[in-house]
Amino acid sequence: MIEVRNLAVAFDGTKILRNMTLSLPKGKLTGIVGPNGAGKSTLLTAMGRLTPIHSGEILFDGFPIGDIATASLAKRLSIFRQSTPITPRLSVRDLISFGRYPHTQGRPTGADLLIIEQAIARLDLSEFADRYLDTLSGGQRQRALLGMVLAQTGDVVLLDEPLNNLDITHARTVMRVAREEIEMGRTVAIVLHDLSIAANHCDHVIALKDGQLHSSGKPEYVLTNEGLSDLYNTKVDVAEIEGRRVILTV
């Protein structure tokens, strides 16, 4: 679905990503992990064509992502980003409705309205649907923004640290929603800090370190004692409790 070849990304002459070659397996949930500053968000936003590429290429369905018209790419790829604060005073439903904009250009049909209501329900936002975003907590706002990305119904869904600010209940909700997306045939990549979540929920893991690919593959091969200790330069243990793999960082 998405292939990255020899990618380099630079800001002000400093390379954030180097020699990166990897792919997001189609129809799989890929977790992107690594220490702070490893380039996880940069990789994700480059794949979402929000960060300009220095060299190399990113292919979407075989085509260079930069060659696909913004409007048609928006129907097929959606990206959630942490950094953007929302200034307009919109209700949760209004915001999520804008996720349909690439498909409707502002003229939603009954099917679009259904997708919007489903996105609201899937992220447990029904009781806030008519509230303004500025009256909600940070976590609730974040789920609303995720709702907008869901409503966009892209074949590829990129999520940059969607679990930050969320309590465990809602973190589980988001991971459940990510799995539902896979079941609908979509490809999902998700930047995670919680390695236990990566180990138990993801089909595939990409580990980055210092702007380069450290390792990638199935979680049980990447998220090991040695692999993680080397990735984070600190001792990390992997335990198994009731069939679930738990990454011990204490």
Partner 1 sequence: MAAKSGIIAILTGLTLVSCFTGVSSLSGDGLWLLFYSRLPRTAAALLAGASLAVAGVIMQMLSRNKFVEPSTAGTAQAAAFGLVVITLLAPGAALWAKMGAATVTALIGTAGFLALVRRLPPHDPMLVPLTGIVYGGIIGAATTFLAYERDLLQYLDIWINGEFSGVMLGRYEFLWIAGILAGVAYLYADRFTIVGLGEDAAKSLGLNHKQAMITGLSIVAVISAVTTVSIGMIPFVGLVVPNIVARIYGENLRQTLPIVAASGAGLVLACDILGRVIRYPFEIPVGTILGVIGAAAFLWILHGRARHG
Binding site for partner 1 (CB under 8 A): 45, 48-50, 70-75, 78-79, 81, 83-91, 94, 98-99, 101-102, 105-106, 132, 134, 149, 152
Task: Please state the closest distance from residue 71 (CB atom) to partner 1, in A.
Answer: 4
Q: Is residue 190 within 8 Å of residue 30, measured between CB atoms?
A: yes
Take residue 54 and report the two structure tokens written for it.
Answer: 């220095």
Q: Could you tell me which of 68, 27, 73, 10 has the C-alpha nearest to residue 189?
A: 27
Q: Which residue's CB is nearer to partner 1, number 87 or number 169?
A: 87
Task: Please state the closest distance from residue 230 (CB atom) to partner 1, in A.
Answer: 33
- Which secondary-structure segment (H or E) carries 96? helix 92-97
Task: Please state the closest distance from residue 149 (CB atom) to partner 1, in A.
Answer: 8
Q: Which residue's CB is nearer to partner 1, number 20 or number 95?
A: 95
Task: Please state the closest distance from residue 222 (CB atom) to partner 1, in A.
Answer: 28
- Give the whole-angstrom CA distance, residue 232 versus residue 30: 19
Task: Please state the closest distance from residue 32 (CB atom) to partner 1, in A.
Answer: 18
Q: Which residue's CB is nearer to partner 1, number 191 or number 198?
A: 191
φ/ψ bin of 227: left (φ > 0), alpha (ψ from -120 to 50), beta (otherwise): alpha
Q: Which residue's CB is nearer to partner 1, number 157 or number 228?
A: 157
Task: Please state the closest distance from residue 11 (CB atom) to partner 1, in A.
Answer: 15
Take residue 61 and report the two structure tokens written for it.
Answer: 């369905």
Sign, CA dihedral 173-178-181-183, equals negative
- Give the whole-angstrom CA distance, residue 85 versus residue 184: 30
- Give the whole-angstrom CA distance, residue 159 versus residue 179: 13
Q: Which residue's CB is nearer to partner 1, number 73 or number 199?
A: 73
Q: Which residues pair with 191 in a beta bridge?
A: 32
> What are the helix (H) ranges across 14-66?
40-47
Q: Which residue's CB is nearer to partner 1, number 90 or number 246?
A: 90
The rounded Cα 218 to chain-centroid distance in angstroms is 18
- Give the whole-angstrom CA distance, residue 150 versus residue 148: 5
- Give the whole-angstrom CA distance, residue 105 versus residue 3: 29
Q: Which residue's CB is nearer to partner 1, number 78 or number 173?
A: 78
